[in-house]
Amino acid sequence: MATKLVPATDQKRSLVPGYPDQKQLVPSYPDQKQFAPGYPDQKQFAPGYPDQKQLVPSYPDQKQFAPGYPDQKQFVPGYLDQTQLAPGYPDQRQLVAVYPDQKQSVPGSAMHQLIKGDRSMLMTSDDNVMLRQIQATHYPDDRRIDVKPILQLVEDILSRATMSVDSIVPGLHTHGRMEDKAHPDSVISMLDALSYVIGRISSEIAYKCMGGTEEGHHQTTVSLLSLLSSYAWDAKLVITLAAFALNYGEFWLLAQIYSSNQLAKSMAILKQLPHIMEQSGPLKPRFDALNDLIKAMLDLTWTIVAFKDLPSAYVNQDVPAYAAANNIIPMAVYWTMRGVVACAAQIIILTSMGHEYGAYSNMEGWELSNLAHKINNIHDHLKKQLMICKSLIDDKSNEDYFRYLVELFEMIHMDNMKVLKAVICARDQDIQQPLFDGSSKRRVNLDVLRRKNVLLLISTLNISQDELSILEQIYNESRQHATRLDNLYEVVWIPIVDQSVQQYRTDEVMQKFESLQSTMPWYTVHHPNLIDRAVIRFVKERWHFRNKPILVVLDPQGRVVSPNAIHMMWIWGSNAFPFVSLKEEALWKDETWKLDLLVNGIDQTILNWIREEKYIFLYGGDDMDWIRRFTAAAKSVALSARISLEMVYVGKSSKKEQVRKIIATITNEKLSYAWQDLMVWFFWTRLESMLFSKIQLGKIDDHDPMMHEIKKLLSHDKSGGWAVLSRGSQVLVNGHGTKVLPTLLEYDMWKDNVPTKGFDRSIKDYYDKLCGTEHPCCRIEFPSTAGTGRIPEGMKCPECLARMEKYITFCCCHDENPIAALY
């Protein structure tokens, strides 16, 4: 049967879907009566005709019977002297955005104040009643749906549609070209299961959104919730957004390609798109409001989905933040779906009214902005609860992983892979190529370390170039003179970075990390965030890491054979392999108190002097006047005693800048030979390592003359000048400046003994005589960062063997960069 199309001007009666007895006249025809859907027997004149009475979608002088409220009067939202019977709120009055007795919108300033004060229905409604109405639609079944793939697809559609708006509508900001995205197969399988319901929701939205009133939007939203009653809250929301994306994406796809595709052009003409785009300038504020609302809806949806993914093992209804979020989520879902309905209504009205949409009531734009404001407020609150929950989860999961690490290192393993994965790839043990090879400058798998002795170099990003230089020298020497066994040990750098610093100063942290990584010839983790917070805690509590680098040795089975071999490395280099305690004790048994122990591996010049059996003075301190007097006196004694004497200034363990100036002065005045920065640092580091090595072996106070001399030297460094005199490798005097200088100045008092006793015995006897009258105070300092196990409970004085008193000292030598403490 053929259907006759009747022009709007000749039309007598048109049966509107759902309103069989009402007249509907085409918008914009002023000479005809148009009966709005749901408003029987009322006149609605076309918008924009000044000579006619225009009743904006709400009619203050007429009775409107609200759906579901047949016996009540519902006046238009926005009239102060009228009672609006909002859904479920029959006894409340609603403040409006339009002044009473006027046919015009609120002036801009007044509207601004209303929005600022947020006095709309969105804030004054009884949320508890609405919440009960929303929850009455919720009867979820047991199905579990991973909505993230669909939400990612929806976000891609809406983001590209927003970009289309920017490129098509003049005056809108352009985001630039978006990258193409490959969507996973899980999207296809999920859509197979949900395509019917998404299509049904899309049709429901398109059918019910034309009314345009707040009551209509509310009823539509409740209807959508009822249709989706069997789905979880996050699934309801994502399905609704997907349904909206179908229509919204199609609209902007046509707008984007209709100029170059004939099919698209024909469809676009049906939707009046060409004419709309030509007149798009006035639509900019409306599209801005749409985009803002869409962004707010997506942000809130991702946050709601994030709550669904929280592990139930760590958070449940007993957690206040989680319980609070669960109470908010139903309302959050309602208002987001309400936003979808409002956005869909805007597009439907736009395509049905064409260019006249620009003259449509400002109430619609106000509703979009108000909804975006409402949704953003809900999102801010949910984000706070989510952050609290994630922090709690992080704490609990870190505690669990810490306990796992403790148990793991107590177990016996076939190889070292499980242990290394736990340390280097804590939460993602399937990660490919977590290591960076410093020699080949490429990423590699953990398998390169399988069944090898592995030295974990653990440090902050503040590890000094001095430390790296010496370690690199030792490492390279071990490779050049390697035996088969030596090749079985590898070094891996484990950077310890404060996670709060890493989060807020990512660029700075990465720049420093990459700078250090580029100088290391061994393996490093390819990114600092691979080292988990639980691993950092384990390193600090179990291996006593503070800020100073440590070298933890793992055998081929992943067992810790040395919690810190850095001291062995500084003292003996690769000769300490395999860096176990038994090897450390054996090496100490072979050592004696001699100059070789102090300078070995530092300066070949001094080793040559030792072989030549010369007298050698090692001296230090930061008193330039004492240094001048000491060097002058030493030269005078050597000349008088006719001995071959060499002197070398070895600086001080701290005050680097001051030491540099002293070295420059000594060199300029030709007072003696002086070491440069790196040798000075290594000398004092080796001395401290000798002390820590003995502490680690539990032999700090053994009757060991060598250990007493080392402690003396460390003590002298803290209190002025000092000097060590040797003949060849044999140490004659290890003394404080207050005793060594008088010994030299009073040469005339003991020179007569030289012919009979010899120079060696004569100077030692006189020095011992001076020391017999009184001893200078001894101080051995330990940094608080040394940690448990590296600071002894007590210690005997190296001079008088009495028990030393313990003090806490605050000290700043102005050597370090304050920023370093952050890393």
pLDDT score at 210: 63
pLDDT per residue as tens digits for the range 695-709: 777 776 557 788 888
Torsion angle defined by CA atoms of residues 211, 215, 217 and 222, in that order, rounded to the nearest 10 degrees: -130
Question: For 645, phi and psi rounded to 5 degrees?
Answer: -120, 135
pLDDT band at residue 813 using 50, 70 and 90 as cut-offs = low
Q: What is the DSSP letter of 174?
A: P
Question: For 713, phi and psi rounded to 5 degrees?
Answer: -65, -40
Give the Cα separation of 45 and 62 in Å (integer): 14
Please give the distance of CA 572 from its chain centroid, rounded to a whole number.
39
Give the Cα separation of 244 and 247 in Å (integer): 6
Whether 375 contacts 339, CB under 8 Å: yes
Sheet holding 560-562, edge to edge: 442-444, 435-437, 523-525, 489-495, 453-459, 550-554, 560-562
Residue 721 tokens read as 């000048």
pLDDT band at residue 22 using 50, 70 and 90 as cut-offs = very low
Q: What is the DSSP letter of 438?
A: T
One-letter amino acid for residue 126 of the chain: D
Strand, helix or coil at 562?
A: strand
Give the Cα separation of 686 and 449 in Å (integer): 29
pLDDT score at 362: 53
Strand, helix or coil at 672?
A: coil
Tell me if the bond preceding 27 is cis, omega within 30° of 0. no
Identify the weakest region by mean pLDDT among 58-62, 205-209, 420-424, 536-540.
58-62
Q: Model pTM?
A: 0.68
DSSP per-residue string spanning 761-773: HHHHHHHHHHHHH
Give the Cα separation of 660 and 649 in Å (integer): 11
Neighbours of 290 (CB within 10 A): 23
Domain ranges of the chain: 1-55, 64-127, 140-395, 417-588, 593-786
Question: Which candidate, 815, 623, 359, places its Cα nearest to that of 631?
Answer: 623
One-letter amino acid for residue 26 of the chain: V
pLDDT per residue as tens digits for the range 590-599: 888 899 899 9
Question: Which candidate, 321, 324, 337, 329, places its Cα nearest to that of 303?
Answer: 329
Q: What is the DSSP letter of 79?
A: B
Residue 339 tokens read as 């936003």
pLDDT band at residue 347 using 50, 70 and 90 as cut-offs = confident
Find which of 72-81, 385-394, 810-819 is predicted with most confidence, using mean pLDDT: 385-394
Neighbours of 260 (CB within 10 A): 8
Whether 258 contacts 273, CB under 8 Å: yes
Neighbours of 144 (CB within 10 A): 8
Residue labelled with tokens 């099919």:
263
CATH number belonging to the domain at 417-588, selected among 3.40.50.300, 3.40.50.720, 3.40.30.10, 3.40.630.10:
3.40.30.10
Residue 762 tokens read as 């004569």
Evaluate if residue 540 carries a pLDDT over 80: yes
Whether 425 contacts 434, CB under 8 Å: yes
Give the Cα separation of 576 and 587 in Å (integer): 8
**Percent of the chain clearing pLDDT 90 (strictly above):** 32
Give the Cα separation of 516 and 508 in Å (integer): 13
Strand 489-495 and strand 523-525: pairing?
Answer: parallel
Give the Cα separation of 257 and 737 in Å (integer): 89
pLDDT per residue as tens digits for the range 422-457: 999 887 777 889 999 998 999 999 999 999 999 999
Q: What is the DSSP letter of 437?
A: E
Give the Cα separation of 474 and 319 in Å (integer): 53
pLDDT score at 669: 93
Evaluate if residue 581 carries a pLDDT over 50: yes
Residue 53 tokens read as 């009475």
Helices (H), 642-789: 656-669, 677-696, 705-717, 737-745, 747-750, 754-757, 759-773
| Largest Cα–Cα separation, the chain | 142
309-323 average pLDDT score: 88
Residues 6+ apart with CB under 8 A from 491: 454, 455, 457, 471, 475, 522, 523
pLDDT band at residue 59 using 50, 70 and 90 as cut-offs = very low
Using a CB cutoff of 8 Å and minimum separation of 24, what contacts does 766-770 make? 767/733, 767/735, 767/739, 767/740, 767/743, 770/739, 770/742, 770/743
pLDDT score at 208: 78
